[in-house]
């Protein structure tokens, strides 16, 4: 079969942020996008809960000039800066609310010895590693290589339980796993880039997905297929064959694989060993996000000005007042909503519990953190994500280049290639589209 027989120029497999961003960049080409689930968006999904916006998956847009924010601007999707007036933390049974990093540090429930150790470590991280952490992952950078070879717990050497719990919470907020399971590189990088400025998509992150899908349909004429999983992809005789589970085969000159790494390794036939090794080095951690509907305003429990409360030492690792992420003019049918989220261990535990036990566990956790909130809770909804994050394990840096490299007619993208959430997904989707367009130009020149 020759490439000329292909009905499609490009088949994009996977309709999460990476696949959608890739398809948007393939202007002027005959593009088909195939998504396994009945909806597009993957780990981006928004529901209405009593008139509040519940982002079941991704919620915060980081970096106003980053790839996700620029994509939203291009599509006319509004981002809202979160209006907050304090830096909160819940730790050792206490809610700490501070006006600045410094006052938060002063209020931390740590011994003087721990505080001195933490302060010295933070100075060292900024002075010695700050420049390397500010760069994109680069396997030739010796500082990045060092931080990639050290587990976070070994790097920080926390000597007391509260201090260890604090680092575990940071690690979980960044990768879903505890400090003993991940390399120092990614959590430290997130720590340095944690800005006090955070944005949400007006009306929910799902609105960004909707805007991309509309643009693909209306402006680009992309054929969008959903609810039909791809079973296998082969690259032979100058054509990419996309075999759907229901038996149909689509022929395309090129394919973009925008599915999680383990799925790419499973469905692409005859992968070269260097690519298979890199894809198999990636594993996934679980997350749960929870919507607590309330009969009282969330500010009764999360004091005014708190939009997001990082939590140390509990099953939930953070709570958000959904009021801040919901359009102010949206009519409300309940008085308040709190969004909670967990790391891997708790999400895994919840997945193996019966529904009632799950709710009881979550309400007990909520009540321990914000006393009285569980009594005001009228409904609990839980989203369990089995592949929420691809945590940065020790030694990942050496796979970075191979993860991004195409194999023949197949190009790869997704947040496992550049694990920085939606920004990584969008960036690598756009990068795969650029690689593919360059390859087409090369083929045309020959």
Which residues form the interface with ligand FAD (CB under 6 A)?
A: 13-19, 34-37, 42-44, 57-60, 62, 229-230, 258-260, 263, 267, 287, 289, 341, 385, 388, 414-415, 421-423, 425
Least Å distance, CB 170 to ligand FAD, is 15
Q: How far is the CB of 342 from ligand FAD (least distance, A)?
A: 9
In the complex with ligand FAD, which residue's Cβ is closer, 132 or 267? 267
Residue (117 or 212) nearer to ligand FAD, CB = 212
Phi-psi region of 372 (alpha: psi -120 to 50; beta: other; left: phi over 0): left
C-beta of 214: minimal distance to ligand FAD in Å?
17
CB of 107 to ligand FAD, least distance (A): 26
Query: 255 forms bridges with which residues in the sheet?
Result: 11, 410
- Min. distance of Cβ 93 from ligand FAD in angstroms? 26
Q: How far is the CB of 186 from ligand FAD (least distance, A)?
A: 13
Please state the closest distance from residue 47 (CB atom) to ligand FAD, in A: 13
CB-nearer residue toward ligand FAD: 423 or 430: 423
Helix (H, G, I), strand (E, B) or coil at 98: strand
Q: Which is nearer to ligand FAD, 229 or 303 (CB)?
A: 229
Identify which of residues 110 and 436 has a Cβ nearer to ligand FAD in the complex: 436
**Which residue, 162 or 229, has its beta carbon nearer to ligand FAD?**
229
CA gap 139, 345 in Å, rounded: 30
Nearer residue to ligand FAD within complex by CB, 186 or 423: 423
Q: Per the structure block, which two tokens stand in for 294?
A: 């309330």
What kind and span of H or E run contains 396? none
Helix 142-149 and helix 185-193: axis angle, to 10°?
110
| β-strands 308-310, 316-321 pairing | antiparallel
Tokens of 38: 């009945």
* Per-position DSSP letters for 307-346, written without gaps between them: SEEEBSSSSEEEEEEGGGGS-TTSPPSSSEEEEEEE-HHH
Handedness of CA 260, 282, 207, 221 (dihedral sign): negative
Distance from C-alpha of 71 to C-alpha of 25, rounded to nearest angstrom: 11
């Amino acid at each position: 079969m020759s490439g000329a027989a292909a009905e499609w120029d490009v088949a994009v497999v996977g309709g999460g942020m990476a696949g959608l961003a890739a398809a948007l960049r393939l202007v002027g080409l005959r593009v088909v996008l195939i998504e396994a689930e009945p909806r597009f968006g993957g780990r981006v999904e928004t529901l209405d809960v009593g008139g509040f916006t519940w982002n079941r998956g991704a919620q915060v847009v980081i970096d106003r000039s980053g790839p996700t924010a620029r994509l939203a601007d291009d599509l006319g999707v509004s981002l809202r800066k979160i209006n907050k007036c304090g830096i909160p933390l819940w730790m050792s049974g206490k809610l700490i609310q501070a006006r600045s990093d410094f006052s938060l540090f002063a209020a931390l429930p740590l011994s003087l010895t721990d505080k001195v150790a933490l302060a010295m470590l933070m100075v060292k991280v900024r002075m010695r590693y700050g420049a390397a952490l500010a760069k994109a992952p680069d396997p030739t950078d010796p500082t990045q290589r060092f931080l990639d070879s050290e587990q976070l717990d070994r790097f920080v050497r926390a000597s007391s339980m509260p201090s260890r719990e604090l680092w575990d919470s940071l690690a979980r907020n960044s990768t879903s796993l505890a400090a003993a399971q991940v390399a120092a590189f990614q959590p430290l990088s997130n720590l340095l880039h944690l800005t006090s400025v955070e944005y949400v998509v007006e009306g929910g992150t799902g609105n960004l997905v909707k805007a991309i899908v509309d643009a693909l349909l209306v402006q680009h004429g992309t054929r969008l297929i959903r609810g039909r999983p791809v079973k296998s992809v082969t690259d032979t005789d100058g054509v990419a064959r996309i075999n759907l589970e229901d038996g149909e085969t689509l022929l395309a000159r090129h394919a973009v694989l925008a599915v999680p790494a383990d799925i790419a390794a499973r469905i692409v036939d005859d992968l070269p060993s260097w690519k298979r090794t890199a894809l198999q080095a990636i594993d996934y951690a679980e997350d749960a996000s929870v919507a607590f509907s309330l009969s009282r305003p969330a500010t009764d429990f999360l004091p005014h000005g708190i939009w997001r409360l990082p939590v140390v030492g509990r099953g939930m690792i953070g709570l958000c007042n959904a009021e801040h992420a919901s359009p102010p003019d949206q009519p409300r049918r309940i008085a308040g909503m709190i969004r909670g989220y967990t790391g891997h261990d708790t999400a895994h535990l919840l997945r193996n519990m019966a529904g009632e036990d799950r709710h009881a566990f979550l309400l007990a956790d909520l009540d321990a953190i914000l006393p009285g909130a569980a009594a005001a809770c009228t409904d609990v909804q839980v989203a369990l994500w089995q592949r929420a994050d691809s945590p940065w394990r020790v030694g990942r840096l050496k796979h970075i280049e191979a993860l991004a490299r195409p194999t023949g007619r197949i190009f790869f993208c997704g947040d496992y290639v550049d694990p920085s959430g939606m920004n990584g997904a969008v960036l690598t989707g756009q990068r795969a589209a650029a690689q593919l367009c360059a390859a087409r130009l090369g083929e045309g020149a020959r």
